[in-house]
Amino acid sequence: MLNDDIPAQPTPSEDGQAEPGRRGFLKGAGLTAMGALLGTSIPFERNMPPGLVPVALAQDTGAGLMGEKNGLTLLNDRPVNAETPAHLLDDDVTPYERLFVRNNGLVPQHAMDMSADGWTLTIDGEVDNPLTLTIADLQNDFETVTAPLWLECGGNGRAFFQPGASGNQWTTGAIGCPEWTGVRLKDVLERAGVKSTAVYTGHYGNDVHLSGDPSKEVISRGVPIEKAMGPENLIAWAMNGQPIPALHGFPLRLVVPGYPGSASQKYLTRIWVRDREHDGSKMTGYSYRMPAYPVAPGTEVPESDMVVMLDMPVKSLVTFPQTGVEVPAGRPAEVRGHAWSGKGDVAAMHVSLDFGQTWQEAELMAPPNPFAWQRWTANVTPPQAGYYEVWARATDKDGNMQPPVVPGWNPRGYGNNMIHRIALFAV
Amino acid sequence: MSLSQVLSRLARGAALAAALAVPLALPAAALAQGYDPMAPRGGAPGFNPMLPGGAAPGAPSAAAPAESDVPTNPELGGIPDTAGAEETFYLCSACHSMATVTSQRLTDERWDYTWTWMVEDQGMPEMDAETKALILSYLKRHFSAER
């Protein structure tokens, strides 16, 4: 299946017979050049029969499923990454068609087929009783929990860092709060009997590396065992009452709210309890890590000084109205949105209509459960006609507030929780 | 799949990549909602925390070449058509879309690091010194945080 055309996009013609290479790079012995470039991205390339096509080109990206999304901004089609404009995130429970997509690799075939036949989850490592569980085992042997829980990409807000940081250039839309159904990670770990030597979890899925190399891990992240044993984390098989969609980890995934989304492994097959900080793919180097000390923008930070990112910072969005709308001067205009924090509840929400000079407290609802985002609402009154910005600022229970500017530059552009601003034109 | 199919698929990927950063539904610009103060700025040279944000509303500015007078090549995912463009396109798009490249604004040192990471960690084939220098200078010219 090579169906990764995106609906409503022009379909390129199929007459590309050796056209792209006609100016020399693949001139002549096309296969030799192709082998030098494509062939070497598959294992044992030296033994690759002439004409064999790298499996990466045969593996679906999942881009063909993006037609099921509504209004998202596509940042990348291989791997598929797309974010949601703020005004499309107004629902209390984020529907599938509005949930951002963050893939590190290619969507595995079982998910494209929505087939969970024979799926098992292994719990092993620093446990007394290693487990291999079917989805039915999870459903039958543990308490089922249904809860809205937010997920946010660690790099949400990366586009605002100066100088730029490598990775998807997310603005504000790599966040969502669907309702998940599954079992508590804690209950499953307790059934396996976590040993006193346990330090970290290591998560594994079966998504496909961009190179198509089946021996390569796409991503394997984990969390400290103390976080893993928190009651908020789920091993989920349903999202918004339906089987988890292919783009979001069918048939089984972790939901570890409060941490970067990459801790919530998709296509989950194994949880390896480690006796040390997990060192899987994208745990080490610069991935999902921050400098251990504050650095000036653009600093080259040694790899040894990078530490794993844990709790996501306190943050909020204005989801109504859409930025740039007209409102009547001198009359109250409703503004609203959501607030969330990696440490759990948000304590307070404020809005400003004068570029942060004065602030008024917004009404902030309690979440239906821990780690569901919280609805906030306020009325702002532009005193006269003209240009205004609504600034929305969340404060966590320790008194940490969102900053008005991009905080702490870091090499990979993580953790930007700067205040969200929208424009209002009073007329 | 034949070689011509592979090439045609690569070309199709290029067209797809060229269509990137276009919202799947209504572009925000088409909504005529005016100014978005959160719109990110492209890679301005130097660092000035007092610079005003805000640009045209809409999708994040991805594949804007550093020099507006350089033509782009739609067959190569819309990347600037200068020395090294073809080599860069074939090497990078063998595994991922060109948007992965064109949305970056990195320092020279970060591009060097990325090359090493791709080879050592992600299975990219190492190139001969000449090709490596050509592709890296292309990346540093067009997708730079420094110029």
Q: Chain A: nearest CA to B4, how far in angstroms? A: 5
Query: Which residue among A26, A162, A211 places its CB closest to the CB of B47?
Result: A162
**Under a CB-based contact definition with an 8 Å cutoff, are residues A341 and A312 in contact?**
yes
Task: Tell me the helix, strand and coil percentages in chain A, rounded to 5.
Answer: 15, 30, 55
Query: Which residue among A12, A166, A216 places its CB closest to the CB of B106?
Result: A166
Q: Which of A152, A145, A147 is nearest to A179 (CA)?
A: A147
Q: Which of B93, B87, B85, B97 is nearest to B142 (CA)?
A: B85
R_g over Cα of chain A: 23
Neighbouring C-beta atoms of residue A384, cutoff 10 Å: 8
Nearest CA in chain A to B63: A75
The three-state secondary structure class of B107 is coil
CB-side neighbour CA atoms (13 Å) of B48: 9
**Under a CB-based contact definition with an 8 Å cutoff, are residues B29 and B56 in contact?**
yes
B90 neighbourhood in chain A, CB within 8 Å: 21, 25-26, 37
Looking at per-residue pLDDT, the higher value among A342 and B128 belongs to A342
User: Residue B39's pLDDT is what?
Assistant: 61
CB distance from B85 to chain A under 8 Å?
A: no
B19 neighbourhood in chain A, CB within 8 Å: 6, 9-10
B114 neighbourhood in chain A, CB within 8 Å: 166
Q: Do A297 and B47 touch (CB under 8 A)?
A: yes
Neighbouring C-beta atoms of residue A198, cutoff 10 Å: 21
User: Residue A162's pLDDT is what?
Assistant: 85
Q: What percent of chain B has pLDDT over 90?
A: 22
Q: What residues are paired with A424 via a beta bridge? A: A325, A388
CB distance from B116 to chain A under 8 Å?
A: no
Q: Do A16 and B22 touch (CB under 8 A)?
A: no
Residue of A52, A75, A80, A161 to mutate, testing the B interface (most B Cβ within 10 Å of its Cβ)? A75
Looking at per-residue pLDDT, the higher value among A244 and B110 belongs to A244
Q: Do A71 and B23 touch (CB under 8 A)?
A: yes
A12 neighbourhood in chain B, CB within 8 Å: 11-12, 14-16
Looking at per-residue pLDDT, the higher value among A375 and B57 belongs to A375
Q: Do B122 and A14 touch (CB under 8 A)?
A: no
Q: Please report how the helices B129-142 and B85-93 are oriented relative to each other, as an axis angle in degrees rounded to 10.
A: 100
Low-confidence ranges of chain A (pLDDT < 50): 1-56
User: Residue A47's pLDDT is what?
Assistant: 35
User: From CA A411, how far away is CA B4, in angstroms rounded?
Assistant: 40
DSSP string, A149-218: --EE-TTTTGGG-SS--SS----S-SEE--EEEEEEHHHHHHHH-B-TT--EEEEEE--B-TT--TTS-S
Residue of A6, A37, A218, A315 to mutate, testing the B interface (most B Cβ within 10 Å of its Cβ)? A37
**Range scoring the smallest mean pLDDT among A56-65, B10-19, B87-96:** B10-19
User: Residue A58's pLDDT is what?
Assistant: 57
